[in-house]
Amino acid sequence: MDHAGTDEVTAARATKLDDDAYRMWHEKPAGKFVLGFSVFVLAEVLVYGTLHWIFPLI
């Protein structure tokens, strides 16, 4: 069998895997969703709390 170029292919795959593994949690799609959703919920809570503070409801 001819294994010419196997080392280059393996090195390229390892580099790709290292690049994906190195990404921070907020750079991945699920992390972006969680971060965005958390910011949205925090904004809603602040607005809701502020409105209740300005206009107290019984």
CA 55 to CA 58: how far, in whole Å?
10
pLDDT in tens, 26-43: 788 899 999 999 999 999
Report the predicted TM-score, pTM, of the whole model to 2 decimal places.
0.55
Give the whole-number percent of the chain exceeding pLDDT 70. Answer: 60
Both structure tokens of 49: 């709390």
Backbone angles phi, psi at 17, to 5 degrees: -65, -40
Give the start-to-end residue ranges of the domains of the chain. Answer: 6-54
CA 36 to CA 47: how far, in whole Å?
17
